[in-house]
Structure 1
Amino acid sequence: MNKYISTEELLRENERLKAIIALLEENAPQKKYGLVWEKEADKEHFLTEALFLKEVLNKRIFTAEQAPVNWLIEGDNYQSLSILLRTHRQKVDVIYIDPPYNTGNRDFKFTDTFSDNDSTYRHSRWIAFIEKRLRLAKQLLSPAGVIFISIDDTELAQTKLLCDEIFGEKNFVANFIRKCKTGSGHDSGKIAIEFDYMLCYAKDSTKQKFNKQTLNVEKDDKYRHTDQFVAHRGKYYLRDLDYKGTYSPSLDYPIQAPDGSELWPGGAYGRPNTWRWSREKVEWGIKNDFIVFKPTARQWKVYIKQYQYVDNQDKKRVRQLPHRAMIEFINSKGSNELKDILHEDIFTHPKPVDLIKFIIDLVPGNNLTILDFFAGSGTTGHAVLSVNQEKGTNHQFILCTNNENNICEKVCYERLKKVITGYETRSGRYIKGTNGNLTYWKVVEV
């Protein structure tokens, strides 16, 4: 057996090692942890100064004099974002994007080449593509702005690391887990995949607040008891006053039962139990009928009345909780919505309108500027128009999409036009228009 390596093989191995060292040296000074990709996969170049927006006047729609003017921009979204920096830097309140998931099924084209599962630069191309767009998007966000990014398992990990780098890990808000399919969901030969994700980042988490979910206390079965205060306080349920949590000596004191006996949290003084309320608050609760004593086999139990319409100070309140990150908005509904408007099945997996309404409802304000630079079939615009109609808000949308396969002109624009002016569904039901104003722009080079 030949134990020697030829000179040619040594030279080839030397060149290979030199290339690896060069790559390591290039990235080592820049970061110690995070996402690293082949930057040479990025081939997009253009002169920002030479790009402008030109309005297509015959596509203008104006049906509501006092409503904001919405924008639909036809063109490469990287170019569109670069132009928007001149007019909307730090002025966008909400960004939602649904970028290509890079599944390898010809859903992502980079510099006119589809990315497939066997591509050497498959993930690098996608990261290079999305990274530049997210950096521009960050500059468009207002100080209290927030971005939502739909994604699936293919690029979730990479997108999370990339967003941590661009927006800052401290500005991560949530990873919404969305049930997007019903039934079997057998896309995989191993596990049924019925979920995708929506990453949420704030421009500055210290400035961004979110609306809470209003609880429907009328339909909450746990409120089932009534008393003489029902007209003002509503129904109530009983909460145990005895609490096993963070111990505080000031909340560990005796309460006198109706028979004169002393009751202690947990049955005796000392850790771990306390009362939920202070001594003064309990006295107030007994006097105002917020406290209930119930006999047991051994002693008494003490309860708080938790009412539907008032807080624990007898003041009117709307009961709210933070929204949950586990959500359900089914893709098939989005497909049916689009088919009802255009009467054609011409777009793959459009997001349902309710998903974007959910996002809008999360963010405080009645005059939000909402950007979607992967507008596709126009779901975001549809949602904004619907929310404005239903709630009397004055949100404005800016949609950016290319016109590959006439998606901007024949799908996105036609959908928005029909939503604004009214349309007939496939079953013949007429849907009244939302009214609104729309301008159509093209990215041009001069």
Structure 2
Amino acid sequence: MLDMLKVETKKELILDLEKRVNDKILERTNYELLKKLIEKADTLDEAINIKILGTHYKKTGFHFDPRLEKLSDTIKYFSKNNKLSFITDLNKLHHKLIIGDNYPALLNLLVEYKGAIDIIYIDPPYGKDNMGEFADTNYENAITRDNLLSMLKYRLILAKQLLSEEGIIFCSIDDRNQAYVKCLFDDIFEEKNFIASVPRKTGAGNAAARNDAKLRKPFDYLLIYKKSNTVLKKKIVGRKEYKYEDSLGRYDLAQFQATGSDSTRSDRPNLYYPVYLSSDGKLYTEPQPDTIKTILPKKVHGEDGRWMWKKEKFNQDANLYIEYNDGFLYRKIYYDENEDQNVYQVEEAWLADGKYRNSEGTTQLTEIMNSEKVLFNNPKPVDLMKWCINLHPNKNAVVLDFFAGSGSTGQSVLELNREDNGKRQFILCTSDEVTDTTPNGIPYDVTVKRLKRIMTGKCYDNTSNFEWLKKNEPYGDNLDVLEIKDVANFEVTPGKTPFDVIDETLYGVDKFKTIQEKINWVCNNFEKNQKEVEA
């Protein structure tokens, strides 16, 4: 799509291939051929398709057959739905809901948001067996694993370009596909940028009624990756305390015996030795005439442990920095004015609390929509999205969800802003999928109505008799609803050309003063980008 970004993007694709050569995944001769093809590619889509050929995971043995993208002669662009968009206060934040295929949506977002998205959350369709009709119709009626990985690969390549250098991306995935999708993320975001795979308890779990040997699987997983320079948010829960003081200054005590992994004698034999306490309170590694106690590093169950220091360092520094107290040895940790004196809460990579379960997401959506019908299967709970977003330190973050579904991510952004006075903005992308309970499509029957109700306190028909409003105040803010439209790149009918129908103000650009400026901008930013999945 983006002529303006094409040269830069080609360089990024070639750099990714070069890394594969260095990692001995791609042969140098194949790299040179692919590099030439990418440089000669007419469009960004063609360049991405060529790069895909060099990413088949030969190093790990992981392989899938990609469904290559095809091009047509139309340009995809944003068109504002003024009937569904709303303003509560021009001085408040503007959020976006994009309706249509998320692939052209991501391409269009690159015009304004390349390198500017701080947080991405996605919950892609897992497969027919797991998601029923939703997954069956969501991706060309063919959610095989190859289709899932192909669909994600193209979109993750674009998502990486949208992420800021401090950005972070989350992906919910089930246990059947977690291993495959993690390999895909390792390929695109690099394994060194992997942060965690967090289990989430989704519910009670199901076992086959006729097969007691089957294990219940009440979990899915949350993959977390950073772009490059991400620093996770740290919650301050107190200040370091220095309870003791000697001639060297104030200090606190920490165990001298090692804990955690690699903390046994067998792990580090040279760090296991007896310590002898003399009658004058001094410590030695050799017996003394006035030894009154021998101290050995022992684990809770009697296994031999180990100390933190080698014997040589102990002999040199022990009587300055090691203290004996009630049968144990402690290191003195002295106050340093140049060190961060805050105590931080460490987040656990484990989401078992009931507020993170799918049932909570269903309850939240039901209270907002006032519907007895199941309008959307397995909506993610707002608290799960808040947990993700809260890991990023920027309270003014731009948050993108390009499998937005029922809109839980949008609500989580609004709630967090209210809780901590943040100014986060959300961008939601959701496909125009029709189901039995959403005849107008999920975005029109669920997503936009949910956002309208929680942001303004009213439905589009001005009614306000829904359960959520009895316990909550509307969040305010403004919403731009954008739809994906297309125009032939050869269209010349006055008023219908690409220069007429594409609105630059929807891309963060002021209205152009001359038609020539508009023509130049369109030509520099748009090219044909229609794609379809190969049968």
TM-score, length-scaled by structure 1: 0.72
**SS of residue in 1 equivalent to 2:426:** strand
User: 1:293 is matched with which residue?
Assistant: 325
Q: Could you say which residue in structure 2 is the equivalent of 1:32?
A: 58
User: 2:475 aligned to 428, 434, 444, which one?
Assistant: 434
- Contact 1:341–1:424 under 8 Å retained in 2: no
Q: 2:406 aligns with which of 343, 366, 377?
A: 377
**SS of equivalent residue, structure 1 residue 360:** helix
Contact 1:94 1:141 in 2 (8 A): yes
- The equivalences for 1:260-409 within 5 A come to 260-264=280-284, 267=294, 272-274=306-308, 293-294=325-326, 301-302=328-329, 313=335, 317-328=341-352, 329-344=356-371, 345-405=374-434, 406-409=441-444
Separation of aligned partners in 1, 2:58 and 2:380: 37
Tell me the residue number matched to 1:232.
none
For residue 419 of structure 2, what is the amino acid of its counterpart? E
1:149 matched to 2:176: no
> Matched residue of 1:196: which SS?
strand
The 2-side partners of 1:397 and 1:43 are apart by 28
Which structure dedicates a bigger proportion of its chain to strand?
Answer: 1
- The verdict on how the C-alpha distance between 1:433 and 1:248 changes in structure 2, with shifts beyond 3 A counting, is farther
2:117–2:167 CA contact under 8 A, matched in 1: yes
Q: Which SS does the other structure have where 2:133 is aligned?
A: strand
- Asked whether the equivalents of residues 238 and 342 of structure 2 are also in contact (C-alpha less than 8 Å), the reply is no
CA–CA distance in structure 2, aligned partners of residues 169 and 112 of structure 1:
28
Between the two proteins, the alignment pairs up a number of residues equal to: 382
Q: Cα gap change, 1:339/1:123 in structure 2, threshold over 3 Å: closer, same or farther?
A: same
Other structure's SS at 2:119 match:
strand
Shift of 1:283: 5.6
2:56·2:63 contact (CA, 8 Å) conserved in 1?
no
Q: Which runs of 5+ in 2 are unaligned?
A: 1-51, 246-251, 286-292, 298-304, 435-440, 458-463, 488-535
Segments of 5+ residues of structure 1 without an aligned counterpart are 1-25, 117-121, 218-222, 230-236, 286-290, 295-299, 306-310
C-alpha separation between the residues in 1 aligned to 2:335 and 2:276? 20
Task: Provide the C-alpha distance between the structure 1 equivalents of 2:68 and 2:360, rounded to a whole number of angstroms.
Answer: 36
Please give the residue correspondences for 1:222-233 in structure 2 after superposition, counting only pairs within 5 Å: none
Distance 1:379 1:29 in 2: 33
Task: Give 1:123's match in structure 2, choosing from 136, 141, 145.
Answer: 145
Identity of aligned residues (%): 30
Shift of 1:293: 3.3
1:319-347 deviation per Cα after TM superposition (whole angstroms, max 9, x unaligned): 22442222232111111011011012311
For 1:415, the equivalent position in structure 2 comes to: 450
**Alignment equivalent of 2:221, drawn from 183, 191, 197:** 197
Q: How has the CA–CA distance of structure 1 residues 153 and 241 changed in structure 2, closer, same or farther, with 3 Å as cutoff?
A: closer
* Partners of 2:93 and 2:425 within 8 A in 1: yes
User: 1:359-403: per-residue Cα shift (whole Å, max 9, x none)?
Assistant: 111111121111001010000000001111110011111000122
Return the alpha-carbon distance in structure 2 between the equivalents of residues 150 and 374 of structure 1. Answer: 11
Matched to 1:186, the amino acid is A
Q: Quote how far apart the aligned CAs of 1:424 are.
A: 5.9
**Deviation at residue 248 of structure 1 after TM alignment:** 13
Which one is further off, 351-360 or 323-332?
A: 323-332
1:175 to 1:143, Cα distance in 2 relative to 1, 3 A: same
Secondary structure of the structure 2 residue equivalent to 1:101: coil
- Secondary structure in 2 aligned to 1:351? coil
Query: How far apart are the structure 1 equivalents of 2:432 and 2:168?
Result: 27
* CA distance, structure 1, for counterparts of residue 101 and residue 404 of structure 2: 11
Q: Is the 8 A contact 1:27 1:36 kept in 2?
A: no
Are 1:68 and 2:93 an aligned pair? yes
Cα pair distance change 1:242/1:325, threshold 3 Å: closer
Shift of 1:208: 1.2
